[in-house]
Amino acid sequence: MTATVHPAGLEPPLISLREVGKVYPVHSSAASRIAALWAKLRGVPHAASEFRALDGISFDVRRGESTALVGVNGAGKSTLLKVIAGVAKASSGTVAIHGRVGALLELGAGFHPEYTGSENIALACALMGLSPARTREHQEAIVAFADIGAHIDQPVKHYSSGMVIRLGFAIATALTPDVLITDEVLSVGDESFQRKCIAWMENYLEQGGTLLLCSHSMYHVQKLCRQAIWIEAGRARLIGDAFEVTRQYLAWHDERTAQSRKLQPGAAAAGGGSIYQVRSMRLNDMHSEEPVLVPEGGTLVVSGSVYSPDDRIPQIAVGVVKLDGTPVAGCYSEMDGFTLHRQEPQLYTYTLTLPCLPLLPGAYVARSHAMDPEGMRMFDHVELRFDVAGVSRETGICKLEHAWS
């Protein structure tokens, strides 16, 4: 990608990266590390193996935009966030930041273990440039958001990991930064804390905030972000609309998982498990390798069962896509207030009826996604194909009710 020229009067992006690269030396022994340090002190080059964590990444994030980074572990997402936040320095390229950045990379990493929560709030605010008077103004809001009770006056070394996370998030978001950078902050802490984080982020975005989110949860990416960047092996593989990027990323991920299973032909599905799983799925009361045929304007009934490892009532998401992966629609039990039926311990059933199907003739796929009881995390999914039969000269995906006059 090439640099963008900004017309006169147009506000520059809050974050602008051009051909950013990050290289780490790889040392196989202590002697190699010492030799590299000695060479660095003398200002002479030192030959060593290198690991390229980032390679030629370019993109912009403008004020009010919400952008997600997606990719597998080790792809370079966290390194990229550290470069943007100023924690790490790029080896090549340029990074331009216009505005105050709030980075939630390692919550609580800067806390002094011997200080109380209140003392760490004062220390963190001072490091952010706040006067004692301004710190006192924010103290009450930070304590209220952290919601750790009387522990606020106890040394942080006695905190649980969840309490440290709560306090870290409360401090980092207290000043409402121009750009909020988060690295998997929604994958830690308890469910109530995660809901509070999401609510805060949604309000932050509604008020014109700018978000750069790193997450393995495609549900959170689609819920919070308008655009996404798929990072693979340190490079930006795809940049675009969040739903389109996540669709292609999930399709790639599913294909990779399927290939992995083919390499393990003896592997069998476990009877239990520690995650929420779709145990069965049927279309119009049929489960077949062949596509289920639905007449144009007919009814599609999606039913099945979901395994709950802790026997709490799970949520279910049902989506419809074209055979080529183009998204059509998605329904969430959590959004519609539907409660799955408990068929037996740890097994819950659902039925979704889609009457008067407005889809044009063609090949489609219905997908059922198991979700946790809070409707925040997607887990296992199962899909079945169905074909809409009919003859139509209309183009697109669906038939719209219309009238000419």
DSSP assignment of 186-249, as one string? GGSS-HHHHHHHHHHHHHHHHTT-EEEEE-S-HHHHHHH-SEEEEEETTEEEEEEEHHHHHHHH
Total structural domains in the chain? 2
25: in domain: no
Q: Which residues of the chain have pLDDT under 50?
A: 1-8, 265-271
Residue recorded with tokens 């919400």: 66
pTM for the complete prediction? 0.61
Nearest Cα to Cα of residue 70 among 210, 209, 240: 240
Based on the domain organization, do 241 and 300 belong to the same domain? no
Based on the domain organization, do 70 and 205 belong to the same domain? yes
> In the β-sheet with 210-214, what is the strand arrangement from edge to edge?
101-104, 179-183, 210-214, 66-70, 227-232, 235-241
Q: What's 78's domain CATH number?
A: 3.40.50.300
d(CA 255, CA 290): 20
The letter for the amino acid at 297 is G
**What tokens were used for 301?**
């009934």
400: in domain: no
Q: 3-state class of 48 per DSSP?
A: coil
Based on the domain organization, do 200 and 123 belong to the same domain? yes
Q: 3-state class of 86 per DSSP?
A: coil
Based on the domain organization, do 329 and 195 belong to the same domain? no
CA distances from 238 to 22, 95, 251, 401 (A): 19, 20, 13, 35
User: According to the model, what pLDDT value does residue 165 have?
Assistant: 79
Q: What is the pLDDT of residues 257-283, one digit of tens each?
A: 656 655 554 433 444 566 889 999 999
299: in domain: yes
Q: What's 366's domain CATH number?
A: 2.60.40.2550
204: in domain: yes
Based on the domain organization, do 155 and 246 belong to the same domain? yes
Q: 3-state class of 265 per DSSP?
A: coil
The C-alpha angle with vertex 166 and arms to 121 and 380, in degrees rounded to 5, equals: 155
Based on the domain organization, do 191 and 80 belong to the same domain? yes
CB 111 within 8 A of CB 156: yes
DSSP 314: P
User: According to the model, what pLDDT value does residue 20 have?
Assistant: 94
User: According to the model, what pLDDT value does residue 299 have?
Assistant: 95
Based on the domain organization, do 303 and 380 belong to the same domain? yes
d(CA 290, CA 381): 19
Beta bridge partners of 232: 235
Based on the domain organization, do 314 and 204 belong to the same domain? no
202: in domain: yes
115: in domain: yes
Nearest Cα to Cα of residue 118 among 99, 138, 100: 138
Count the neighbouring beta carbons within 10 Å of the beta carbon of residue 343: 12
Based on the domain organization, do 202 and 113 belong to the same domain? yes
9: in domain: no
Residue recorded with tokens 């800067």: 110
Per DSSP bridges, beta strands 15-26 and 92-97 are: antiparallel
Based on the domain organization, do 244 and 155 belong to the same domain? yes
CB 156 within 8 A of CB 120: yes
Q: What is the radius of gyration, based on Cα positions, of the chain? A: 25
d(CA 384, CA 157): 51
Note down the domain range covering 65. Answer: 61-89+96-250
Based on the domain organization, do 282 and 246 belong to the same domain? no
**What tokens were used for 177?**
């930064």
d(CA 335, CA 188): 23
Based on the domain organization, do 241 and 324 belong to the same domain? no
199: in domain: yes
Length of the chain: 405
d(CA 306, CA 114): 46
